[in-house]
Structure 1
Amino acid sequence: MPPSSVSSVEGGRPYYDGDVDFDALAAEDADFAAICKVSKDKRWIDFQDPKVVQQLTKSLLKCDFALSLELPNDRLCPPVPVRWNYVRWIQELLDTTSGDYRDHYDPEREVLGLDIGVGASCIYPLLACSMRPEWRMAGTDVDQHSFDYARKNVEANGLAKRIKLRLSTSDRPLIPLDSMKIEGLDFVMTNPPFYTSHTDMLASYAGKQAPPSAVCTGADNEMICPGGDVGFVTRILDESLKLRERVQWYSAMLGKMSSLQQLIAKLREHNITNFAVTCLQAGYRTKRWAVAWSFRDLRPRNDVARHGDLVHAVLPSPTAQTIPVPLMSAQFAGDRVSGILQELDVRWQWREAIFTGVMKARENVWSRAARRKKKFQAERDIGRGEVDAMQLDGDEGDADDDENVALAVKIVCKLEVVEVRWLRGHDHVLFTSFCGMLKRGLTGRA
């Protein structure tokens, strides 16, 4: 993908989805052109040379994000594409789980995040704040040498007012909300050490057909920790079980698919059903994974919750269903949907101009049992003279109270198809039950 200093998506730039275009980058940055080699009219670089790898990172940050970076030779040099893809995914998680159900970037929304282990580059806070002016970041690290460089990089990019760093120790909480005097966070992110030991790190390369794609200059504290990435993220999970809704999204990048599988199993053991996964592939060889989980009931868009090339076993429950409605126009389908929902004790807001509506319900009011109960109650109340027959649509006020919403969905009507997007709720069975009812009402088929 050619570098570009111009954002082509709201509040950021697109995911990197291929290898860096060296020709385009060299044309834009003379420092990068100087370290390139050319053979058979093809430009290439030596990924085993630490200075070359550093320059690639610096040039991408300069051209794509208008950031400058200073790095020591004895600390990790972060590849930009996969790091940006992680930040971009966090952006989409937050954009599609806002309280107003916008499903897209809100430039006025103030966001506060925490990066656990900023490293010498402080790359995640720099990327996050460079793309969105209302975002602020807190960051921690346990290594004084890395911390000093991180602070310099924050100051050099004029972001000291929006990025606050804190030197920590290995025995302190990873999410120190109370000691930092922070009531809550919108997200937590981390790129933890992947390996349990030097032996584990060497074993990860054994049997591979090719050597590591780039030289690694990471220090032991950046590459190795007890339990590797699973052990580190399990500590975050344990802290999240106490903090719960004080953080909207807890997340972590992982080095192996097996690590992702282990952590998904741990989430399920704790009955955490609102989670999202992604494959952060940003080129031919570089592949990482990330997981995020939330104790709140706002559900991310389906393509965000199940993002990238993933095995079925790690996927969360779908947050979208599509109902085919052959021969129906968007207008006709919308009228049918409105007719169905107006008969239920739910709150239904329909925007006819764009054939889109939002439904909120405080409980399952569409099952046969619920309808019989409502009919019986209405007949009994009328018989007693306790309620006017014209008021039997129910009190919709409770359904509009977020604390009483068991299910919220967005319904979009298009030519021959109705799309249902799960916005809010803890119960996937309730969501699928609603979709089934709507399908029967629209098509007469289960």
Structure 2
Amino acid sequence: MSLNAFMHSRNIYRKRPDFAEMAKTYASFAPFVRHDSRGKVVFDYNDCHALRQLTITLLKKDFDLEVRIPADRLIPTVPQRLNYILFVEDLVSKLKDFLRGNGREVLEVIGVDVGTGCCAVFPLIGCTLNKDWSFVAIDVDPVTIESAVDNINRNHLNPRIKVIECNEETGFAPIVQQMSANGQRIHFLMTNPPFFEHNYSDEEEDEEEEDIESNVTESKAQMDCTLESGDKPVFKSKVDRKRALRHKSSANTSKPIESVVSGGEVEFVSKIIENSLQLKDKVLIYSSMLGKKSSLKQLKSIIKSEVQRGLIHSFVCTEFCQGLTKRWGIAWTLVSGLNLRDVAVTKAIKPKPPLVYYLPPLMKSCEYTIDSVSQRIQSLLKEDLKLDSFDVKKTRKRIEFRIRSQTNVWSNQRKRRREMKRQLESQSMSSDKSDNSAIDDQNGMNISANNESKDQLNETVSRKRGSDDMDCDSSGHELSMNAEAEYQTKKCKTSRDLLWEQELYLLDTSLAIRRDKQTIIIEMETKELATNSESTHQLFQYFKNNLN
């Protein structure tokens, strides 16, 4: 299942990029995009050259950033990095409100990126989206630093992004202390640490490959680490063995210094927590992205213990969902009164099974074929429900509908039919009566009809208001997030609108017609832009009543 629907609400990649259009616009990307015999766009996510060019093209198209990525260094996935940046934007927004409430206006936001990488992708995107941000980018690898400086200079952001080489033993703390001594207030710290503890050997992977290959569920192209020969690894669990195989991929080009650290990401972030207890409010908000859910559990336990001791004031956790990959985020603060628990977070929801209806073989409404059932459903949507907002896609084995509506036109169908029948009968009876009686009766009927129409109108208005209220209540948080996104976008260095504004619907559902042996099956699922799932259940019942 794709997790794009659970991306951050302001992430533009919730709407999948059009690779075909990108290939037309960017000649350097075109060689990596092809079409199969059915005309479908094909992109090889296992080709490191294709992935590198994809990252370069997305950064240019959506952020007007020019970057170069060395062939032997990690290729950052843009949607994932943007998810983290947007989470940090929400943290900074909360911080600004807190400081403003205490009479301190923030004119410049200073961030520290620990382990910035060859692309310096976090500082580049962060400064592009927020003109009041500046960064200190830290790394330990001279080759990586050289590449990062080149990319920063290439985009003329060197006045706002400073790259510093730090000592692997002492870490970032001395740099923060020096900045504080110079009178600089650091508003946030972010990091995407390596999460491998070992250099995995090819021999061990070959032994384990047969056991775990069938369990691989994440896209290899999304993994940001690689495996190098070295000491024989000690796997703590099957999950570690799975990750080892996934990272042995031609799409992974990172070096051990980028992907492996002693003790893994838990020890790496634990040291940042220890440093934060010493640095205190020299950094107002600390944060990290994590590659393992088990790491989040361990680090939450550490932070909770410090909260109980009164050393850490508050913390918040979130999920970064993109493609077939999920990462986790954690942030904490030692600033008294700053409550990070109020920051909006994202979380993937396990999808519910579809609603399934097995059509009876002896149908009277249409022939017992997939095409006939599809035509019957289209007729019901257009003629009975007066609903035109649907798309139909036909494949070799199934027909798929995507149905959307802002108003409820499928409920109370029986009541509507009864009212129509009653009106027709009243009109027929009135025509058989004498003129005077007919006039009197007709006047009375008109009054009654007017009252009924008023009742129907009131009911419709009430229903519509209910739908509008439901939309407002369900999407109110989304609207506030979009308002914040609009505020942030106004501060962008470029004029392009980076926000994909999604429209919410009372009904957003998929309907699939397929055959299971001799039986025709209808499956319906609520999709991500629906304000609730009840509408799907109601429409499902409507089809059951009318497909017989």
Partner Cα distance (1:220, 1:416) in 2: 48
Specify the alignment match of 1:61 in structure 2.
59
Deviations 1:377-413 (A, max 9, x none): xxxxxxxxxxxxxxxxxxxxxxxxxxxxxxxxxxxxx
Contact 1:99/1:298 (CA < 8 Å) preserved in 2?
A: no
CA contact (8 A) 1:17 1:281 kept: no
Matched, 1:223 2:223: no
Give the C-alpha shift of residue 13 in structure 1. Answer: 5.7
* Mean CA deviation greater in 149-158 or 28-37: 28-37
Q: What does 1:23-38 align with in structure 2 at a 5 Å threshold?
A: 23-38=20-35
Q: Which one of the candidate residues 80, 83, 87 is aligned to 2:81? A: 83
Aligned residue number for residue 141 of structure 1: 139
Deviations 1:36-64 (A, max 9, x none): 12112211211222111110000100011
Q: 1:231 to 1:310 in 2, by over 3 A?
A: farther
Q: CA deviation at 1:213?
A: 2.2
CA contact (8 A) 1:113 1:137 kept: yes
- Paired residue type of 2:314: N
**In the aligned structure 2, how far is the partner of 1:206 from the partner of 1:237?**
34
Matched positions, count:
302
Q: Is the 8 A contact 1:111 1:136 kept in 2?
A: yes
Matched, 1:178 2:177: yes
Superposed CA offset, 1:88-115 (max 9, x none): 1100111123245889xxx974100000
Relative to 1, partners in 2 of residues 1:211 and 1:173: Cα closer, same or farther, differing over 3 Å? closer
1:71 Cα deviation after fit: 1.2
In the superposition, the TM-score normalised over structure 1's length comes to 0.62
The equivalent of 2:270 in structure 1 is: 234
Identity of aligned residues (%): 32
2:149 touches 2:163 (CA, 8 Å); kept in 1? Answer: yes
The SS at the match of 1:251 is strand
* CA–CA distance in structure 1, aligned partners of residues 89 and 55 of structure 2: 22
How many angstroms does 1:243 deviate by?
1.1
- The answer for the alignment partner of 2:319 in structure 1 is 279
Determine if contact 2:313/2:339 at 8 Å carries over to the other structure: no
Residue 243 of structure 1 corresponds to 279
TM-score when normalising by structure 2: 0.51
Residues 307 and 97 (structure 1 numbering): CA distance in 2 closer, same or farther, change over 3 Å?
A: farther
The residue that corresponds to 1:193 in the other structure is 194
Shift of 1:280: 0.7
Paired position in structure 2 for 1:209: 216
**Map of 1:257 onto structure 2:** 293
1:173 positional shift = 2.9
- Work out the CA distance in 2 between the residues paired with 1:228 and 1:416: 43
Equivalent position amino acid for 1:222 in 2: E
Name the CA distance, whole Å, in 1 between partners of 2:297 and 2:98: 32
- C-alpha contact 2:198 2:261 (8 A) present in aligned 1: yes
Partners of 2:94 and 2:270 lie apart in 1 by 26
Shift of 1:118: 0.9
Deviations 1:229-270 (A, max 9, x none): 111111100000111112111001100111111110110111
Higher relative contact order (CA 8 A, sep 6+): 2
Deviation sequence 1:260-304 (CA, Å, 0-9, x none): 111101101111351111111122x12111111011222247452
* 2:339 paired residue among 287, 299, 308: 299
1:72 is matched by which residue type in structure 2?
A: P
- Residues 242 and 269 (structure 1 numbering): CA distance in 2 closer, same or farther, change over 3 Å? same
Partner AA of 2:153 in structure 1: E
More displaced 10-residue stretch of structure 1: 218-227 or 14-23:
14-23
Q: 1:153 to 1:225 in 2, by over 3 A?
A: same
CA deviations on 1:66-95 (whole Å, 9 max, x unpaired) are 101111111101010000110111001111
1:166-187 C-alpha deviation (Å, 9 max, x unpaired): 1112112323212345543100
Partner SS, residue 289 of structure 1: strand
Give, in angstroms, the shift of residue 18 of structure 1. Answer: 5.7
Q: What's the CA shift for 1:19? A: 4.6
- 1:16 and 2:13 aligned: yes
- State the AA in 1 paired with 2:54: L
How has the CA–CA distance of structure 1 residues 20 and 256 changed in structure 2, closer, same or farther, with 3 Å as cutoff?
A: farther
**Greater Rg by CA:** 2
Which range moves more in the overlay, 119-128 or 294-303? 294-303
* Cα displacement (A) at 1:33: 2.6
Residues 18, 286 of structure 1: alpha-carbon distance in 2 compared, 3 angstrom cutoff: farther
SS at match of 1:177: helix
User: For residues 147-180 of structure 1, what are the alpha-carbon distances to aligned partners after superposition, in whole Å with 9 as ceiling and x for unaligned?
Assistant: 1000000000000100000111211232321234
Query: CA–CA distance in 2 between the matches of 1:250 and 1:227?
Result: 20
Kindly indicate whether the alpha-carbon contact (under 8 Å) linking 1:189 and 1:252 is maintained by their aligned counterparts in 2: yes
Distance 1:310 1:248, change over 3 A: farther
CA contact (8 A) 1:192 1:253 kept: yes
In 2, distance between residues paired with 1:145 and 1:43? 36
Conserved? CA contact 1:15–1:85, under 8 Å: no
- After the TM superposition, which of the residue ranges 31-40 and 186-195 deviates more from structure 2? 31-40
Matches within 5 A, 1:70-109: 70-99=68-97, 109=107
How do 1:270-419 and structure 2 match up within 5 A? 270-271=306-307, 272-283=312-323, 285-296=324-335, 297-300=337-340, 302=342, 304=344, 306-309=345-348
Consecutive unaligned residues in structure 1, runs of 5 or more: 2-8, 312-414, 420-446
Indicate conservation of the 8 Å contact 2:195/2:265, yes or no.
Answer: yes
Cα–Cα, structure 1 residues 102 and 307, in superposed 2: closer, same or farther, change >3 Å? farther
2: CA distance between counterparts of 1:94 and 1:123? 18
